[in-house]
């Protein structure tokens, strides 16, 4: 197995955009593109160990995506259920630990059950940590975290004067994960779309034109290698 240099990204987050446009370009319905995009996830996950990526976080469905047509939303929810059932065995075999982040309240009971089962099934795996953001929004996450923090203050478990920038992350959905080193967005859009707002404060970004169903091992590897050549100063002055 190949190993990436130590200065490569340890945690990569991806905004998987362009499925609908990919399908439209081929005269197919948008859901055709979403199914093609889902198949790309496995290739990217399996590339991670070869290039030293230990954590991969993917944006599957945002809190804003409910605004899409009922047909598309229903189709996506069905795709998520099918993906979990179909991929559970291969993810386990490959040593992938799966976590889901986002607000589960609006999701249907069957999907929540499958999510819980996959998290439990893969809990002991250590090769790759795959986090799937489902019904996730950065502002929503911070709001939910703040409510939990405020409740702890009200209950006397936390003193207001002890709250600082190190406190809130402990209440975020991603509290067990390191912040992303690199955030990739496919499809040519140059915005972060409410994704990991707190966590990506010092992340490097790559906005690429490739539509997600066309994104694969070679481009993923190249982007991670490019990250290794960047100077990471975190507000300081470079040498």
Other Cβ atoms closer than 10 A to 183 = 23
Q: Which residues contact 180 (CB under 8 A, 6 or more apart)?
A: 9, 11, 12, 13, 55, 57, 196, 199, 200, 203
Cβ atoms of 159 and 181 closer than 8 Å: no
Catalytic residue IDs: 17, 65
H-run or E-run covering 60: strand 55-62
What is the C-alpha to C-alpha distance for residues 118 and 100, in angstroms, rounded to an integer? Answer: 9
- State how beta strands 11-15 and 182-185 pair: parallel
24, two tokens? 């439209």
Q: Which residues contact 235 (CB under 8 A, 6 or more apart)?
A: 202
């Amino acid at each position: 197995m190949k190993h990436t240099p130590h200065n490569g990204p340890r945690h990569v987050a991806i905004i998987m955009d362009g499925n609908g446009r990919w399908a439209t370009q081929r005269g197919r319905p948008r859901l055709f593109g979403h199914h093609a995009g889902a198949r790309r996830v496995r290739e990217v996950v399996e590339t991670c160990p070869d290039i030293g990526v230990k954590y991969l976080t993917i944006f599957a469905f945002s809190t804003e995506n409910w605004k899409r047509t009922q047909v598309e939303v229903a189709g996506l929810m069905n795709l998520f259920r099918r993906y979990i059932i179909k991929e559970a065995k291969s993810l386990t075999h490959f040593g992938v630990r799966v976590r889901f982040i986002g607000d589960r309240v609006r999701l249907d009971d069957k999907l929540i059950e499958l999510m819980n089962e996959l998290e439990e099934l893969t809990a002991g795996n250590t090769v790759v940590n795959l986090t799937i953001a489902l019904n996730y929004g950065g502002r929503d996450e911070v709001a939910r975290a703040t409510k939990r923090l405020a409740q702890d203050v009200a209950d006397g478990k936390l003193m207001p004067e002890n709250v600082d920038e190190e406190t809130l992350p402990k209440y975020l959905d991603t509290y067990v994960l390191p912040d992303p080193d690199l955030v990739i967005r496919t499809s040519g859009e140059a915005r972060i779309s409410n994704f990991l707002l707190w966590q990506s404060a010092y992340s490097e970004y790559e906005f690429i034109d490739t539509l997600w169903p066309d994104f694969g091992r070679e481009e993923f590897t190249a982007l991670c290698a490019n990250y290794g050549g960047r100077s990471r100063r975190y507000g300081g002055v470079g040498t």
